[in-house]
């Protein structure tokens, strides 16, 4: 049965460096939860604290109804999948998967049945007699998953499990990991620095920076409504534009951008009022080059400064123009993704527009 994971006030220091600075998290039963952030942000240290490989200086960790903060790893009812797979090279696939059960003194007949079930779940039963060096990277990762699942953990922990795979295998294994976790009914915590990996398969995610949680929510919430400039810049691509708040009425915020007026339907941060300087986050795919609505706001002219064909999209770097047709200056250039690719010559003028809901104001 899936269990909740409760993390309260976790602090961990190494020497003078505070790697985790008061982490609070609630992971729901059966949730696939991602810890996402740049290298050195503390995400792997937090996972190791949950696994029992690293003891926090203060705070508490509960898995289900048990406080496991000071318990050794082997009694926490967790399964761990490592970045390096950590398979025994001299053992077969079946022997690798059975190893944890043998250490727990599980009866031989039960071991055989549970190994079969785990290998069936990861679609590797037919390779049970092979050794790791006879398998591809993706197949080794499936075996590592089976080994973690066979002990029937209450919580599955995954530490950048796809980082050693090539791009095609990573895409394949993303969906497989979600399928396996949901089929097994597991609560899973997954560490990665790959934003697309997190956005594509997470139920919820937490973005960490310098040992603190910057934002926690669903992939859609975090991408569409980033809490601050760090989250907006780390999750996907965005354009940052300096603006001034002019007014806020009827659910619309009127802003002054370098090229003119901009309307935003996104929530106005409580700390911002009329006259305040702020930052606008505009996703490249939100900037449109097709025909704008006849009476819509947020339409402006821009001059193309660079155009690159990327296959599925064209990427343009444009410089907005004022209402009088003057460039606003190279300090404000916008990256635009065009869904139906074309090439645009340097200096070509395009009409750019965006929906008010896509103009996200950051505190």
Taking the C-alpha atoms of residue 111 and residue 20, their distance in angstroms, rounded to an integer, is 39
Residue 152 is predicted with a pLDDT of 85
Mean pLDDT of the chain: 90
The mean per-residue pLDDT over the stretch 7-25 comes to 96
The mean per-residue pLDDT over the stretch 8-19 comes to 95
Residue 57 is predicted with a pLDDT of 96
Task: Write out the two tokens for 150.
Answer: 């066979």
Taking phi first (over 0 means left), then psi (-120 to 50 degrees means alpha), and beta for anything else, what does residue 52 get?
left
Residue 70 is predicted with a pLDDT of 93
On whether both 207 and 244 belong to a single domain, the answer is no
* In contact, 235 and 223? CB cutoff 8 Å: yes
Closest by alpha carbon to 318, among 338, 330, 302, 331? Answer: 302
* In contact, 319 and 303? CB cutoff 8 Å: yes
CATH number of the domain encompassing residue 289: 2.40.50.140
Which of 196, 217, 232 is at the close of a domain? 232
On whether both 146 and 246 belong to a single domain, the answer is no
Query: Helix (H, G, I), strand (E, B), or coil: what is residue 70?
Result: coil
On whether both 272 and 312 belong to a single domain, the answer is yes
Residue 269 is predicted with a pLDDT of 82
On whether both 169 and 309 belong to a single domain, the answer is no
Question: pLDDT tens digits for 308-354?
Answer: 888 888 889 999 998 888 888 777 889 989 877 666 678 888 899 99
Task: Write out the two tokens for 347.
Answer: 């200096």
Question: pLDDT tens digits for 206-251?
Answer: 999 999 999 999 999 999 999 999 999 999 899 999 999 999 888 8
On whether both 161 and 24 belong to a single domain, the answer is yes
On whether both 285 and 208 belong to a single domain, the answer is no
Taking the C-alpha atoms of residue 3 and residue 330, their distance in angstroms, rounded to an integer, is 53
Of the pLDDT bands very low, low, confident and very high (cuts 50, 70, 90), residue 162 is confident
Query: Helix (H, G, I), strand (E, B), or coil: what is residue 8?
Result: strand
Which of 169, 198, 232 is at the close of a domain? 232
On whether both 81 and 28 belong to a single domain, the answer is yes
Cα torsion 63, 106, 161, 31 to 10°: value is: -30
Structural domain boundaries enclosing 305: 237-362
Task: Write out the two tokens for 54.
Answer: 């690293």
Closest by alpha carbon to 81, among 219, 181, 204? Answer: 181
Per-residue DSSP letters for 289-351? -SPPPTT-S-EEEEEEEEEEE-SS-EEEEEEEB-TTS-B--TTS-EEEEESS-----TT-EEE
CATH number of the domain encompassing residue 162: 3.40.50.300
Residue 221 is predicted with a pLDDT of 95
Query: Which stretches of 130-278 are DSSP H helices?
Result: 137-149, 167-184, 195-201, 219-224, 229-234
On whether both 282 and 210 belong to a single domain, the answer is no
Residue 137 is predicted with a pLDDT of 84
On whether both 90 and 219 belong to a single domain, the answer is yes
Q: What angle do CA 143, 144, 149 make, to 5 degrees?
A: 95
Residue 343 is predicted with a pLDDT of 66
Which residue would you say has higher pLDDT here, 31 or 102? Answer: 31
Instruction: Please check the confidence at residue 296 and state whether its pLDDT lies above 80.
Output: no
Q: What share of the chain is helix, strand, coil (3-state, %, to 5)?
A: 25, 35, 40
Taking the C-alpha atoms of residue 101 and residue 110, their distance in angstroms, rounded to an integer, is 9
Most confident of 30-34, 71-75, 133-137, 293-297: 30-34
Taking the C-alpha atoms of residue 282 and residue 56, their distance in angstroms, rounded to an integer, is 39
On whether both 14 and 111 belong to a single domain, the answer is yes
Which of 176, 205, 232 is at the close of a domain? 232
The total domain count for the chain is: 2
The mean per-residue pLDDT over the stretch 116-140 comes to 89
On whether both 227 and 241 belong to a single domain, the answer is no
On whether both 227 and 130 belong to a single domain, the answer is yes
List, as own/partner pairs, every contact residues 99-106 make where C-beta atoms lie below 8 angstroms and the sequence separation is at least 24, other chains included: 99/147, 100/147, 100/150, 100/151, 101/150, 101/151, 104/151
Question: pLDDT tens digits for 264-292?
Answer: 998 888 788 888 899 999 999 999 988 88
């Amino acid at each position: 049965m899936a269990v909740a994971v409760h993390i309260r006030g976790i602090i961990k220091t190494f020497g003078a460096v505070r790697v985790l600075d008061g982490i609070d998290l609630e992971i729901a039963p059966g949730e696939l939860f991602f810890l996402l952030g740049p290298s050195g942000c503390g995400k792997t240290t937090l996972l190791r604290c949950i696994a029992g490989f690293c003891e926090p200086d203060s705070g508490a960790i509960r898995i289900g109804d048990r406080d496991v903060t000071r318990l050794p790893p082997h009694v926490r009812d967790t399964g761990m999948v490592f970045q390096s797979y950590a398979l025994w090279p001299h053992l077969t696939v079946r022997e690798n998967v059975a190893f944890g059960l043998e250490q727990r003194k599980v009866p031989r007949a039960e071991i055989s049945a549970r190994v079969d079930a785990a290998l069936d779940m990861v679609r590797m039963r037919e390779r049970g007699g092979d050794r790791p060096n006879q398998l591809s990277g993706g197949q080794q990762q499936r075996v590592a998953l089976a080994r973690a699942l066979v002990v029937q953990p209450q919580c599955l922990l995954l530490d950048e499990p796809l980082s050693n795979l090539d791009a095609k295998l990573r895409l394949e294994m993303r969906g497989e990991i979600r399928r396996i976790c949901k089929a097994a009914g597991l609560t899973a915590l997954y560490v990665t620095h790959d934003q697309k990996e997190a956005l594509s398969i997470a139920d919820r995610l937490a973005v960490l920076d310098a040992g603190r949680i910057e934002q926690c929510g669903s992939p859609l919430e975090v991408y569409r409504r980033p809490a601050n400039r760090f989250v907006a810049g780390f999750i996907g691509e965005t354009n940052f534009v300096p603006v001034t708040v002019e007014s806020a009425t009827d659910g619309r915020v009127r802003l002054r951008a370098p090229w003119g007026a901009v309307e935003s339907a996104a929530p106005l941060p409580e700390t911002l009022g009329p006259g305040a300087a702020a930052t606008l986050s505009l996703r490249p795919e939100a900037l449109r080059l097709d025909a704008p609505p006849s009476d819509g706001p947020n339409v402006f002219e821009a001059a193309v400064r660079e155009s690159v064909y990327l296959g599925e999209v064209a990427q343009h770097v444009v410089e907005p123009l004022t209402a009088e047709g003057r460039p606003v200056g190279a300090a404000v250039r916008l990256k635009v993704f065009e869904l139906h690719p074309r090439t645009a010559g340097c200096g070509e003028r395009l009409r750019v527009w965006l929906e008010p809901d896509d103009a996200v104001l950051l505190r």
